[in-house]
Structure 1
Amino acid sequence: MSKTPSAAKPRFTGKHMTAILVAGFGVVVSVNLAMATLASSSFGGVVVENSYVASQSFNEWLDKAEASDALGYSVEPTRRADGLVTLTTDGVPVGAQVTAIARHPLGHLPDEALVFVLTSDGSWASTSPLPAGRWTLRFDIAANGNQWRGERHLP
């Protein structure tokens, strides 16, 4: 019986191991850079400047929120074709001062201050238009010595 020469097995060398390590770490670094880029481009900033100082006021904020909720105001914003924002309200007194800060959800556009006036049909309309896009409106309604604050989304 004769033996046929078998093919030589390729050897696993240090070069192979180096290539595997470089490729593996290359994938990890690439994914980390992609995620860091996406994260920094999608969130525009800080929620509070100093979280410890903000935490000292937390219970006070809760008390103000409860007092605000007890007023029973409801506000529903809509955007008109001309860009003005109108509010359908319930419980808001006629002499109230209604203002809002419009914030872009991702922080790409600057905040817009809005002032609302009572219209003849009983709704409130902003005195200046709001650019197109999604906005978060933070309302501040002052009436009869009371303060109401709330937040609504405007698609």
Structure 2
Amino acid sequence: MSSLATKRSRRFTGWHMMAVLLLFFGTIFTANALMAWNASRSWSGLVVQNTYIASQEFNTKVAEAERLAASGIEGRIETASGQFRYVLVQDGKPLPTADRVLASFKRPVEEHEDFEIELDRKADGVFVAGRSLKKGQWIADLRVLAGGETIYRQAVRFIATGDGK
């Protein structure tokens, strides 16, 4: 009698199959939903208008970036209370040769808050945005000029903590 009860308890029934299918497809659905949610929240917003032209300009841009990096100039951003401050140094000393800094501020995903501005020079190597920034993620594309020639270029992704309007 006990061997008959053992056989019945070990039978694979339709309920078992339904449980296996629900676990299998539930796992796949959960993994896909998690990846889709993560992708939508972490999209960088990097888009080029024409991929062919971008590919043709790639080597030129890499050569320019290497030339500018070899200059020894380094830029550092500071944000507080919605203000943006850009400090330039060369070999650890303030950069006196920089006349102007042109900045393009962009949101990583949206375009309606993007703007371009020339930073105000406060001292040797210190430039400040005359406009406050709203709280959140920004990308600043900064171009440093001396005598009309670009001597340094930097793109920085940062989080503004200020209360800009």
Within 5 Å, give how 1:120-139 maps onto structure 2.
121-122=123-124, 123-139=126-142
TM superposition shift of 1:52: 4.1
Letter in 1 for 2:135: A
- Residue 111 of structure 1 corresponds to 114
Measured in 2, the distance between the counterparts of 1:114 and 1:77 equals 15
Q: Structure 2 stretches of 5 or more lacking a match?
A: 90-94, 160-165
- Residue 93 of structure 1 corresponds to 97
Q: SS of the counterpart of 2:134?
A: coil
- Residue 63 of structure 1 corresponds to 63
- Residue 155 of structure 2 corresponds to 151
TM superposition shift of 1:61: 0.6
Q: SS of the counterpart of 1:66?
A: helix
Are the counterparts in 2 of residues 73 and 92 from structure 1 also a CA contact under 8 Å?
A: no
Q: SS of the counterpart of 2:17?
A: helix
Q: Which has the larger radius of gyration?
A: 1
Against the structure 1 CA distance between its residues 54 and 108, is the aligned structure 2 distance closer, same or farther, given a 3 Å change threshold?
Answer: closer
Q: SS of the counterpart of 2:97?
A: coil
Against the structure 1 CA distance between its residues 68 and 31, is the aligned structure 2 distance closer, same or farther, given a 3 Å change threshold?
Answer: same
Against the structure 1 CA distance between its residues 124 and 25, is the aligned structure 2 distance closer, same or farther, given a 3 Å change threshold?
Answer: same
- Residue 18 of structure 1 corresponds to 18
- Residue 74 of structure 1 corresponds to 74
State the TM-score, normalized to the length of structure 1.
0.74
Measured in 1, the distance between the counterparts of 2:157 and 2:39 equals 23
State the TM-score, normalized to the length of structure 2.
0.70
Are the counterparts in 2 of residues 44 and 108 from structure 1 also a CA contact under 8 Å?
A: no
Measured in 2, the distance between the counterparts of 1:55 and 1:23 equals 45
Q: SS of the counterpart of 1:131?
A: coil
Against the structure 1 CA distance between its residues 111 and 23, is the aligned structure 2 distance closer, same or farther, given a 3 Å change threshold?
Answer: same
TM superposition shift of 1:50: 4.4
TM superposition shift of 1:134: 4.4
Cα RMSD over matched residues?
2.7
